[in-house]
Every structure is written in structure tokens, then in C-alpha cells.
Amino acid sequence: MRSKTAVLLGRLMRNIMRSPDTIITVAITPIMMMLLFVYVFGGAIKTGTDNYVNYLLPGILLMAIASGVAYTSLRLFNDVKSGLMARFITMPIKRSSILWAHVLTSLVSNALTVLVVILIALLMGFRSGADILHWFAAAGILGLFTLALTWLAVIPGLTAKSMEGATAYSYPLIFLPFISSAFVPTETMPKIVRVFAENQPVTSIVNAIRALLYGGSIGNGIWIALAWCVGIMVIAYLFASKAFKRQLG
Amino acid sequence: MNHAAISVKGLKKSFKDKEVLKGVDFEVQRGEIFALLGSNGAGKTTTINILSTLMKPDGGEASICGFDVRRQPDHVRQSISLTGQFSSLDGMLTGRENLIMIAKLRGASNPAHVADDLLAKFNLVDAANRRADQYSGGMKRRLDIAMSLIGKPAVIFLDEPTTGLDPEARIEVWNTVKELAGSGTTILLTTQYLEEAEQLADRIAILHDGKIITTGTLSELKKMFPPAKVEYIEKQPTLEEIFLAIIAKKEEK
């Protein structure tokens, strides 16, 4: 099964490499956001830190991943539409390898996007004193977040009737960081907004990554972040599997 | 080995309250090219989807080379290849890469060799390293059929292989399918074109409104239905013949 998944992964990665615009398009919006917030709004935002790029980066990365997974929906939708999916599922290969190839492709391509964004952030003054272990932990959380959103993205990819429908869900995901601690501290928000901001996944994940990269106290926050990622992943995986089974009749 | 290549008995399938298949029966012998002829909505694609394990039937029996499509889908998938209504290939990959991908998935020992053989056989050598989304409709279809041959499946399903193709490309595809005849592969094709069934199929079944109305060879069907009449009429060229003649002349120049 592993070798068949590798063949399918190779095919999808080749697709991405032939249209590098997918990685650039995905990276460009978060980079523009970062430029806008650092050089336009940043001066007026009081975060209690002197390095606003550092403050911003975790949220920007989540935004990049949220827009990146939309391409997983799009690729799945295209496979279903073109009949390639029907060809694969009527071949003597493990059906789960077909979906896993898409999920792994999402992990790899999002990792590339995240790297590009981090490189730009470095140019803008992002600095971290974290050791390799803390970096691994931060990468792990980003990886889990990618997996969770990717499985979520599989559902519309398999079930959507149109291309727009396949990707529409990603807009609210991309904007979730705005109502969180990603750009500004939640303390200044009105009560209702603040309650939402402090109890939605982006805030806990952003706070956990900040703690890991900038040496804050890690505490319970990281477990809440992990619980969100794993929880979303498990539920999305169950629904995605169900959608896939239905796809097979 | 005394099983029929395809055996279908009393096959039923409904979508919501619409009964699409109302008890379909037919049998296809090994090595035969069998056409399922019917208009849009007659249930052709539904039949193919059930036989290729994409859908589960509501009732009846269907088996491929003796394997039941419901109980032994894995065995069925070892024996079949599906060429869907649209050319199911990866447009971002070249023709050669598409073939190599399928060869690897089928576990061929030398995928590149398999690909080159098929490119030659299907007259695609010149286009081998071009992206498949730049192919013409006929070339896409030929590549599609070539992909289905990899791994030598016993049964190949061709769902409306020439729908949407221009007359030239249609003839290209017909020639491809004709060349496959006699190679021992069983082919079940669906079509809404009478001429296509007449050109390609050893036997024809007419599917209408979810049921097989009649089955037989072309000459059997001819005997059964309106008796032959002798009439003397001037034979005008059809528009298709005119079109093809003009195209052929242009290419000679």
C-alpha cells in the first residue's frame, strides 16, 4: 500500500511543481497581510512587545495553511470531476491510499508555503531564541493543524457540485485569525467578541506557538491547542471517510 | 474458466424514487465486444458503474469472470479496467507519465517499457512528452484506452467512448477498438450511436427504460426486425462523408 501511495503522492507533487503558482498564490496573501500589519497598522497596535513581526508570525502561518488546504479540496474535486478518481477506485489498489496521497501532498505543500513565509518574516525582522526541540514542537503543532484542516478540506473536495463550492469553506477559516489573539491582544475586544476570540482554536494555537518560539510559559495552553487540532482532525476524518464511502456507492 | 466474462441477472437500481434499472439481464462471452445501446437516461452508465464496483445494485446478480461484484469487489477489480465517460487522465502529466503512473499502480515490473510499448501501439509516440491537456479529443481518448489496457485486465468497460468527439476522432477511436478485437480482451461498450454499435460490436443489447429489450448479433437483429425491402434510391453522400472527403483532400495538399 505504501508504494501505491507514493506513486499517487508523486503524481500530485508533480502537478504542484508544474504549477508553482499554487505555492506562490497561497503564500502571497499571508505575506501581504504581514507587510500590511507590520508596516501600516503595526505602529498603532499595542501588543506589549517590541517585535511585532514575532507577535504576528504564528497567526500569519495559520492563515497560510488555511488558504493552502483549499487546494486539496480543489485537487480532489478535479479528480472526481475528471473521472480519474473513478479510475483509481476501480483499480486493485487500497482505496485509503488514494485519500492519503492527497493528505500527504497537502502536508508537503503547506510545509513549503510555511517555509517561504518564515523566510520573508526573517527578512522583516522575525527572530526566535528557541532551541531545536521547541522548534520541533512548534512544527508539530503546525503539522497537526494542517492535518486537521486538510481532512476538513477533503469533505467539500469529494462532495461539492462546483469548483466554487469546493473551496468556499476556506474563507471563514482564513478570517478566523482576525478574531483571535493573532494580530492584537484580545483584552481590548468587547465582551462577546472577546469570549469568542479566547475560546476558538486559533487563539490557543497561536499562544502555544508563541510560547514555544519566544520562551513564554507553556503551561496548559499547549494541551488545549493540541486538543483542538486532534479533535477537529478526528471529527473531520470520520466525515471525510463517510463522504468517500458514499462516493463509492 | 467456463464462467462468462460478464454475467448480469435481474439487475435493479433506483435513485431516490426513480427506478433506473428494472431487471437487466445479459451475458458477455470472453473475447467478445459487446455493445449496450441506448438513449440518454436508459441506464447504461448505471450498469457500468455497478459492474465496475463504483455502485452497489439494489437487487439482482452481477459477476465478472465468475466474481460477484457485491461480495468479491477486490477480485472484480483485479479483472477490470474502467474508461469513464470523460477521458480520465491527469492533464498536467505527459501522455508517457500518465501511462507510467498506471503501470506502477498496477505493479508492472517495467513501467517505462509498458508505457513505450503502448505509445507506439496507439500512435502517440510524437506526443509522448507533451502534457495530456494539450491533446486533441481523439488523442485523449486513445491515451485513455491505452491506460485501461495496462495490466491486461480481462474485461474493459468503455462508457460512451466517442461521445463529444468530432467525426475524424470518432473513426480514430473506432479503429483503436477494432484493433483490440481478437486480442482476447472482453470489451463492454456503451453507446447512443447506432452506427457505433454496428461498426464495433460482435453482439448488441438494446437497453431501453431500464430493461434489455433485445440481444443478438447485428445479423440476428436485422432478421428479427423490419424485414428487408428492396428499393432503388439514389445514394447521396452523407454530410459526414462530404466532411471527411474534404478533410482528406486538404491533408493531401
Residue B200, burial from CB neighbour count under 10 angstroms (0-12, 13-18, 19+) = buried
Q: What is the mean pLDDT of residues B150-164?
A: 90
Proportion of chain B in helix, strand, coil states, percent, rounded to 5? 40, 25, 40
Indicate the burial class of A131 (C-beta count within 10 angstroms; 0-12, 13-18, 19 or more). exposed
| CA separation for the pair B197, A199 (Å, rounded) | 64
Reduced 3-state DSSP string for B38-58 = CCCCCCHHHHHHHHCCCCCCC
* Cβ-based contacts of A84 with chain B (< 8 Å): 88-90
Chain A residue with minimum CA distance to B46: A249
At residue B156, the 3 state secondary structure works out as strand
Evaluate if residue B63 carries a pLDDT over 90.
yes
Q: Quick one: closest CA in A to B111, which residue?
A: A7
Burial (CB < 10 A; 0-12, 13-18, 19+), residue A21, is: exposed
By Cβ distance, the residue of A11, A87, A249 closest to B56 is: A249
Predicted model pTM: 0.87
- Report yes or no: A96 at the B interface, CB cutoff 8 Å: no
Q: Which element (helix H / strand E) includes A189?
A: none
Q: How far apart are CA B92 and CA B113, in angstroms?
A: 21
Cell of B145: 484506452
Among B105, B129, B130, most A C-beta atoms within 10 A, so best to mutate, is B105
Residues of B in contact with A90 (CB under 8 A): 52-54, 77, 80-82
CA angle, residues A217, A220, A225, in degrees to nearest 5: 105
- Of B3, B9, B137, B19, nearest to B62 (Cα)? B9
Structural contact between residues B97 and A14, judged by C-beta atoms closer than 8 angstroms: yes
Q: Which of B90, B99, B155 to mutate against chain A (most A CBs within 10 Å)?
A: B90
With 0-12 / 13-18 / 19 or more C-beta atoms within 10 angstroms meaning exposed / middle / buried, residue B80 is buried
Orientation angle between helical segments A70-82 and A95-123, nearest 10 degrees: 150
Cα–Cα distance, A111 to A133 (Å, whole number): 18
> From edge to edge, which strands make up the β-sheet containing B80-83?
B80-83, B155-159, B186-191, B33-37, B203-208, B211-216
pLDDT at res. B173: 86
Q: Which residue has the cell 504576528?
A: A56
Give the mean pLDDT per block of 10 residues along chain A (249 residues): 87 88 81 90 77 91 92 92 91 91 94 93 91 93 96 93 85 85 87 90 92 83 92 95 81
Q: Which amino acid is at A22?
A: T
Query: How many CA atoms does the CB half-sphere of B104 hold within 13 Å?
Result: 18
Q: Please tell me the distance from the alpha carbon of residue A56 to that of residue A61, in angstroms, as a whole number.
A: 9
User: For residue B2, what pLDDT is reported?
Assistant: 61
pLDDT of residue B253: 61
> Mean pLDDT throughout B240-249?
85
- Does any CB of chain A come closer than 8 Å to the CB of residue B181? no
B88/A19 touch (CB, cutoff 8 Å), yes or no: no
> Is this complex scored with an ipTM above 0.90?
no
- Give exposure, B136-166, as e/b (b: 16+ Cβ within 10 Å): ebbbbbbbbbbbbbbbebbbbbbbbbbbebe
* B55/A19 Cβ within 8 A: no
